[in-house]
Amino acid sequence: MQTKNYLIITTLLITLEYSVSVQATTSTIISKVENLIAQMTLEEKVGQMTQVDFKIISRDGTLDATNSIDPIKLEDAVLKHHVGSIMNSPTTPDNQAQTVGKWRELQQAIQAVAARSRLKIPVLYGIDAVHGATYTKNATLFPQAINMAATFNPDLSFKAGEITARELRASSLQWNFSPVMDIGRQPLWPRLWETYGEDVHLSTVMGQRFIQGHQGTDFSAADKGLTCLKHYVGYSLPFNGKDRTPAYISERMLREYFLPTFAAGIKAGAPTVMVNSAEVDGIPGHANYHFLTTILRDELGFKGFTVSDWEDIKRLYTRDKLAVSEKEAVKIAVMAGVDMSMVPFDFSFYDLLLELVKNGEVPVARIDEAVTRILTVKYEAGLFTATKPPISIEGNFATTYATTTNRQAAHESIILAKNDHQVLPLKKDASILVTGPTANLLSVMNGGWTITWQGDSEALYPKVKLTVLSALQQQSTGKITYVGGVNFNDSIDIARVVAEAEHHDYILLSLGEKPYAELPGNISSLALEPSQQALADAVLTTGKPVILLTFGGRPRIITSIAEKAAAVVLGFLPGMEGGVAVADILYGNHNPDAKLPITYPRDTNDIVHYDYKPIEVFEQNTVNPLYFFGHGLSYTTFETSHLQVDKISMGAQDTITVTVDVKNTGSFAGKETVLVYVNDVAASVSRPNKQLKAFKKVALEPGETKHLSFTLEPDDLSFIGVDLKRIVEPGDFIVMVGNERVKFTVTR
């Protein structure tokens, strides 16, 4: 390794950069908030920091089919306890989705009581709308984030944000607990699919565009809503893969992989941040002053408010044993920098925080700080002026435009991983035997946070949407036979599948996972369920070409099947239009153009990433996944050529322009994503073999060539140095696109 001079990109520069495009708080809002705070009692202030679940205000507090509000309980929450926020879907079984009309009614009732409060402070209502308006019946439900990432199409992420906000606003909801800005580098984790995958640059771009679409330049606009970056920070790398278990992330790794997406989300203007529900290096997210205050506020310049995750302040006592009482837990969390507590089922936070302030254990200044942040966001969101649903349902909810956009997103999110001898696309009159547990269900294509929290109530899914089987039946002019169960866990008659195979040209084997969210999705191995493996082994002995299709939120191990299958289509969670999108791909109505946003493991314990370190391929070490990040085939072929840089030597503060030609060399029109990777040849901290720094997706007719240009900024060449500061070190760098590599040097 050569000795180098470090060029430090100062923290100050980063802070300034991150704060420029955040919606600026006007002096009018600042003085309105100051004025309000001056009039507030301590009780009113602490109430603003309290968030409760709908259950607290619902009629019987448990299962209420009409989902009605109990006016006495609502008054207790809003007028007596002054709560600043309410959340979640009404407590019908499993928190089901409500009609758009019901939501408007509920919100109006809540805001009407808030308008009767002494200072008329509106309630901010929060909801998980993670792939569209989850909890509004018949909302447009997009591919989940892992699929949105697979589109490599930031415009689609922007549109998904726009449509989600519009449908939330039509439902009179304001605040979306989305996007997840965690990086998905632990494939066992049952929330992998909520992330934009393993790469920092891809996640940054997709997340930022989602926020920009959702919020616009002014989130008080009638059709815009607030976003919430979650789960800050380091939640997504549990060592054992189970949800809400410890992560061990060094500060260098945190800064390299896990902080940049949050910094980007803040830069894009997200006004709220939800806290990591687990722990990093022994410190629970809700107790981490260094993360919540030193880094988030002082370094990243975040001006909005932080909200705890579900019950997590209490859990500092009940689960983490960090506090000796619930009261101490409240003190630790508030002093660490948590501004609002998702309590969510009682007023304990309110009572305990009041006591703590009265006893002098939590300074009033800290309360004023948190409440100022909360009220500022409420003003910025236009809540003080909007008392009834601002936009009409007609023209804003489940429109044809929304469905068409959703269909495009589903098309662009399904990955063709293998296509031996161009077995795909199939002719419309091909006879296909369809089998496997995921072929005839909508829930397996949508995953968690769909209509219900777990997303597994198939009976509640809209009847008009098509499963893979029904979409194939609709498009086929040949014979489609289905041998499968009605539910995911039904056993499939393998002998019948094998016997039927003889009468068909192809077998579509549809495997994968049933839906899940959070802890219920924990598994201890990525291995496929034995019953699915047995079905696969049997169909592979028939000699018929097998098309393997998979759905689910994680890369379950399919190596032995994929090796023998003629084609492999990775569906992950493509949403409500997934069935049609798969049929369109199988029949060639859509030429596949998705790429993997994660590296697909070959074996259960062989978890690797595309940006591996040199040591991972040294001597006996190998990196040999089933498919790398960025892999994805098309029915046509593309070639990149003439890779060039505009200078071969540059200063560390300069930008460099990379150009490359991309040509459609096959016979179908299609889209290709050109990926630009960079490698720092030698550095004072070991660097990945390559890292994605830019990408562009372009449409090309057969024979057409496009000339693409990319600008790399100093930040794209930087890394977290020995002293934990972001630096660019002089030395050689290599830009890689396709099979070409070009070197340039940073001189000073």
Instruction: Tally Cβ neighbours within 10 Å of residue 483.
Output: 20
The minimum distance between CB 316 and ligand BGC, in angstroms, equals: 16
The minimum distance between CB 381 and ligand BGC, in angstroms, equals: 18
Q: For 92-172, list the strands marked E by DSSP.
A: 124-127
The minimum distance between CB 178 and ligand BGC, in angstroms, equals: 8
Q: Which C-beta is closer to ligand BGC: that of 518 or that of 654?
A: 518
Name residues contacting ligand BGC, limited to 304-343 (CB under 6 A): 309-310
> How many binding residues for ligand BGC (CB under 6 A)?
8
Residues 595 and 583: their CA atoms lie apart, in Å, by 18
Instruction: Tally Cβ neighbours within 10 Å of residue 413.
Output: 33
DSSP 465: S
| C-alpha dist (Å) from residue 216 to 153, 211, 667 | 18, 8, 40
Q: Which of 51, 208, 215, 277 binds ligand BGC (CB under 6 A)?
A: 277
Q: Which C-beta is closer to ligand BGC: that of 195 or that of 440?
A: 195
Q: For 420-499, list the strands marked E by DSSP.
A: 432-435, 480-483
Q: Which C-beta is closer to ligand BGC: that of 87 or that of 398?
A: 87
Contact mark string toward ligand BGC, 617..656, x via CB under 6 A: ----------------------------------------
The minimum distance between CB 282 and ligand BGC, in angstroms, equals: 20
Q: Which C-beta is closer to ligand BGC: that of 453 or that of 719?
A: 453
Directed axis angle between helix 200-215 and helix 259-267, to 10°?
30
Q: How many CA atoms, within 13 angstroms, populate the side-chain half-sphere of residue 43? A: 10
Which are the contacts of 601, defined by CB distance < 8 A and separation ≥ 6?
187, 526, 555, 557, 607, 608, 625, 626
Directed axis angle between helix 400-413 and helix 154-170, to 10°?
140
Residue type, position 609, single letter: H
Q: Which C-beta is closer to ligand BGC: that of 521 or that of 721?
A: 521
Is 128 one of the binding residues for ligand BGC (CB under 6 A)? yes
Contact mark string toward ligand BGC, 460..499, x via CB under 6 A: ----------------------------------------
Q: How many CA atoms, within 13 angstroms, populate the side-chain half-sphere of residue 146? A: 33
Q: Which C-beta is closer to ligand BGC: that of 134 or that of 467?
A: 134
Dihedral sign computed on CA atoms, order 549, 551, 553, 559: negative
Is 518 one of the binding residues for ligand BGC (CB under 6 A)? yes
The minimum distance between CB 496 and ligand BGC, in angstroms, equals: 42
Q: Which C-beta is closer to ligand BGC: that of 181 or that of 383?
A: 181
The minimum distance between CB 720 and ligand BGC, in angstroms, equals: 27
Helix segments in 153-220, DSSP class H: 154-170, 200-215
Q: Which C-beta is closer to ligand BGC: that of 88 or that of 446?
A: 88
Is 230 one of the binding residues for ligand BGC (CB under 6 A)? yes
Q: Which C-beta is closer to ligand BGC: that of 88 or that of 204?
A: 88
Residues 113 and 77: their CA atoms lie apart, in Å, by 10
* β-sheet with 480-483: strand ranges across: 415-419, 567-572, 546-551, 506-512, 432-435, 480-483
Residues 228 and 240: their CA atoms lie apart, in Å, by 27
Residues 100 and 1: their CA atoms lie apart, in Å, by 62
| C-alpha dist (Å) from residue 23 to 231, 401, 619 | 22, 28, 52
Name residues contacting ligand BGC, limited to 70-109 (CB under 6 A): 88
Q: Which two tokens stand for residue 714?
A: 């100093």
Which has the closest alpha carbon to 656: 720, 740, 732? 732
The minimum distance between CB 80 and ligand BGC, in angstroms, equals: 24
Q: Which C-beta is closer to ligand BGC: that of 128 or that of 412?
A: 128
DSSP 23: P
Q: Which two tokens stand for residue 242?
A: 């189970």
Q: Which two tokens stand for residue 142?
A: 């997009």
CA angle centred on 673, ends 670 and 677, rounded to 5°? 155
Is 242 one of the binding residues for ligand BGC (CB under 6 A)? no
Q: Which of 18, 54, 135, 177 binds ligand BGC (CB under 6 A)?
A: 177
Report the chain's terminal Cα–Cα distance, integer Å: 17
Name residues contacting ligand BGC, limited to 546-575 (CB under 6 A): none
Q: Which C-beta is closer to ligand BGC: that of 287 or that of 570?
A: 287
Helix (H, G, I), strand (E, B) or coil at 54: helix
Residue 298 falls in the annotated catalytic set = no
Q: Which two tokens stand for residue 222?
A: 């009638």
Which are the contacts of 735, defined by CB distance < 8 A and separation ≥ 6?
643, 645, 658, 676, 677, 678, 712, 741, 742, 743, 744
Is 53 one of the binding residues for ligand BGC (CB under 6 A)? no
Phi, psi of 400 (to 5 degrees): -65, -40
8 A C-beta contact, residue 725 and residue 694: no
Helix (H, G, I), strand (E, B) or coil at 647: coil
Q: Which C-beta is closer to ligand BGC: that of 177 or that of 627?
A: 177
DSSP 94: G
Which is the catalytic residue, given 199, 309, 584, 593? 309
The minimum distance between CB 123 and ligand BGC, in angstroms, equals: 16
Q: Which C-beta is closer to ligand BGC: that of 309 or that of 611?
A: 309
Q: 601: exposed, middle or buried (C-beta count within 10 Å: 0-12, 13-18, 19+)?
A: buried
Phi, psi of 500 (to 5 degrees): -65, -30
8 A C-beta contact, residue 668 and residue 636: yes
Which are the contacts of 52, defined by CB distance < 8 A and separation ≥ 6?
77, 83, 85, 86, 87, 343, 344, 345, 346, 347
Residues 69 and 54: their CA atoms lie apart, in Å, by 9
Instruction: Tally Cβ neighbours within 10 Å of residue 227.
Output: 31
The minimum distance between CB 317 and ligand BGC, in angstroms, equals: 18
The residues assigned a catalytic role are 309
Footprint of ligand BGC (CB under 6 A): 88, 128, 177, 230, 277, 309-310, 518
